[in-house]
Amino acid sequence: MLTFDIDRSSPTPLYFQLAQAIEGAISSGGLPSGSRLENEVLLAQRYGLSRPTVRRAVQELVDKGLLVRKRGVGTQVIQPHVRRSVELTSLYDDLARAGESPTTDVLSLERIAAPADVAEELDLEEGEEIVVVRRLRRSNGEPLALMTNLLPGRFRPTIDDLAARGLYQYLRTQGVHLRVAHQRIGARLARAEEARLLDEPPRSALLTMQRTAFDDQGVAVEHGRHVYRASRYEFETTLVGR
């Protein structure tokens, strides 16, 4: 049960006080993901607020992606989105910096002959040996992204390397200085295996990202093809006018 004191002498609007209290309970774990919020009538009665005030507070948190209204269920707490700036960083580093607890399941690690499209991305000859890594990245134990990375064959990461840290951390230990990347962001529906691994309903919306990263000599060192849970993840960028 949510408990907090309304300060009617405060200049802070009542709806915002309620929204802050609910958000604080979500952040502290008092209202864990999946738990249901009391309905608007009970909240209004408990705190002596009008229903429009309660409704506005709840809508504030729905808009922030912390609550969701489900027909027949009520208002439910959902896992907050992971926001990621569009920068040349790894997801592992971004999650760690944000205070999350990233972990990695290495699904496969193999060496194959580069198909034509990958050879073009990595500036290799078709058929040259490449490393293919497929991983499931989790945040605080929750599946977040399925990542497929393709590296030139000169790199020899191990499963332990990739389970313990991010790929870009591994590349830095190999003397690689990442400088620039070309990236494309899109969306599509989840395939059956992706939905299962990401704990999403079949054909859920996924964010997609393809990226080719280059070192400070202009040499392609990695090509990634990743999918992210749209329910848990978003990219963030800043646009500047001329």
CATH of the domain at 21: 1.10.10.10
Could you say which of 26, 44, 77 is where a domain stops? Answer: 77
Contact indicator for 141, 113 with CB cutoff of 8 Å: no
54 and 149 part of one domain: no
102 and 65 part of one domain: no
60 and 88 part of one domain: no
61 and 161 part of one domain: no
Across 58-77, b (16+ Cβ under 10 Å) vs e yields bebbeeeebbeeeeeeebeb
Share of the chain above pLDDT 90, in %: 35
pLDDT digit string, tens, across residues 131-140 = 999 999 988 8
| Mean pLDDT for the chain overall | 84
Residue 9 lies in a domain: no
44 and 121 part of one domain: no
Q: How many residues does the chain have?
A: 242
Residue 4 lies in a domain: no
Residue 2 lies in a domain: no
* Token representation of residue 222: 């990695």
Please report which confidence band the pLDDT of residue 97 belongs to, taking 50, 70 and 90 as the band edges. low
Among 1-5, 141-145, 187-191, 236-240, where is mean pLDDT lowest?
A: 236-240
Residue 127 lies in a domain: yes
Could you say which of 61, 77, 93 is where a domain stops? Answer: 77
32 and 132 part of one domain: no
Residue 60 has pLDDT above 70, yes or no: yes
Residue 109 lies in a domain: yes
DSSP H or E run through 225: strand 220-229
Residue 241 lies in a domain: no
Q: What is the CATH number of the domain that holds 216?
A: 3.40.1410.10
130 and 49 part of one domain: no
Give CA–CA dist 150/152, Å, rounded: 7
146 and 87 part of one domain: yes
Residue 118 has pLDDT above 90, yes or no: yes
Please report which confidence band the pLDDT of residue 96 belongs to, taking 50, 70 and 90 as the band edges. low
Query: Which CA distances in Å does 225 have to 123, 136, 236?
Result: 17, 12, 19
pLDDT digit string, tens, across residues 145-203 = 999 999 999 999 999 999 888 898 899 999 999 888 888 889 999 999 999 999 999 89
Q: Can you name the residues that pair with 147 across neighbouring β-strands?
A: 135, 226
Residue 14 has pLDDT above 50, yes or no: yes
Contact indicator for 146, 136 with CB cutoff of 8 Å: yes
153 and 176 part of one domain: yes
- 32-60 average pLDDT score: 86
Q: How many structural domains are present in the chain?
A: 2
Look at residue 196 in the predicted model and tell me its pLDDT: 95
Could you say which of 45, 77, 109 is where a domain stops? Answer: 77
89 and 193 part of one domain: yes
Residue-number span of the structural domain to which 223 is assigned: 82-236
Residue 5 lies in a domain: no
Residue 26 lies in a domain: yes
Look at residue 85 in the predicted model and tell me its pLDDT: 45
105 and 163 part of one domain: yes
* Token representation of residue 233: 């993840």
103 and 131 part of one domain: yes
Look at residue 33 in the predicted model and tell me its pLDDT: 76
